[in-house]
Amino acid sequence: MRGWSSIVVLNDFYKDFIEEHDKFYLAFSFFDLMEYDRAALSVQDCKNKKAYYLHMYGRYLADEKRKLDNAPDSFGPPDKLENGHLKTLKTELAKKYAITELDGFCIYLYGVGLKKLDLLKEAIEVFVDAVNSEPLH
């Protein structure tokens, strides 16, 4: 009977992922096509932490792509003033980070947002926490 108990535990652990399997892989397909807005929207209502990461990362990449597409044809770096989307992502991730609801990948994404907003001291602390929760970063 030991085998059945491990199957039940695994089933409970992956229950959210199994229920949202199709949406997750649809978002993954949109990522391959660089359709980041569609990827983020396809997993918007998912409860799984992996799907939440795809949602947040899709929003981040879509906004960065939009910023590069709207940039003038100059040889300089993109304008740092256009970071309103980073502020909204930061506040949303900060709320979940404060109550320790983020996995290592979302913590890393939160650190990237802090770094891009030039909040370097906070970014270093968050990056250390990301490595502690996901050592293969």
Query: Which pLDDT value is given to residue 120?
Result: 93
Regions of the chain short of the pLDDT cut 70: 1-17, 73-82
pTM confidence score: 0.80
Task: Quote the pLDDT of residue 1.
Answer: 42
Q: What are the tens digits of pLDDT across the range 53-70?
A: 999 999 999 998 888 887
DSSP states of 70-108: TS-S-SSPPPTT--HHHHHHHHHHHHHHHTT---HHHHH
Q: What pLDDT, on the 0 to 100 scale, is given for residue 8?
A: 46
